[in-house]
Homo-oligomer: A and B are copies of this chain.
Amino acid sequence: MTSESARSRRRPGGRTGRVRAQVLDAVRAELAERGYDGLGLDGVAARAGVHRATVYRRWRDVGGLLADLLEATTSDDDWQPQDTGSLQGDLTVLNQENLAAMTAQPSIAAALIAASFRSEEAARGLRRLWEDRYARCEVIVGRAVRRGELPAGTDARVLLVAATAPLYHHLVLLRTPPDPDLPGLAARAAALAAFAGAFVKDPPVAGAPG
């Protein structure tokens, strides 16, 4: 977040770009101080020193602000999943990063998930974010296939969802306290299932009628 924020302020862009940077910095600050439920367009406009009408016209609602903040944070970042040399290691680190993002104070990811149930803008922003992140993670599966850890034809997306879903299930839906063992446990379970061929697309059916 911090490095992106610094980058966006250095970015060329004239008045529109400056207004966006001021508004998104204000969203970050309001979220940190007041949390999701204290976030409002009026407060953001006042803190940013930007006309209320501009903020309402361009971002529409709190979901729109959060979605744009995430867009700014992720669209030009160069995040890639870490290469630890093993499938289980890569998935563990990915889950640890997701846990850190979801439990950060403030967590923009957690705020956007909450907002996605109230704002169509936030829901769209969140779908784009998930899609972007899962697409970037597919390299984890490609590397494991090349290393011979996984059978060719393994469906990267299904494997990645299996590895990452338990963490979100606990944090977002079950609302259990964050468990530091869960990233590794969920990664190990998904890796073991994958080694056993659980995620191979269209496996040949033995003895199927020709």
Contact = CB atoms under 8 A, between A and B. Distances in A.
Q: Chain A interface: which size bin? A: 20 to 34
Number of this chain's copies in the assembly equals: 2
Contacts of A60: none
A172 interface: yes
A170 B161 contact: yes
A193 interface: yes
Contact of A130 (B118, B168, B174): B174
B186 A162 contact: yes
Contact of A158 (B113, B185, B198): B185
Given A165-B166, A165-B168, A166-B162, A130 B193 contact: no
A118 B170 CA distance: 18
Given A189-B190, A190-B189, A168 B173 contact: yes
A135 interface: no
Q: Which of A113, A123, A158, A193 has the most CB of B within 10 A?
A: A193
Interface string A155-178: 000100110111011101111000
Given A126-B175, A130-B174, A165-B168, 8 more contacts: A117-B117, A126-B173, A127-B174, A130-B173, A161-B170, A172-B173, A189-B190, A193-B196
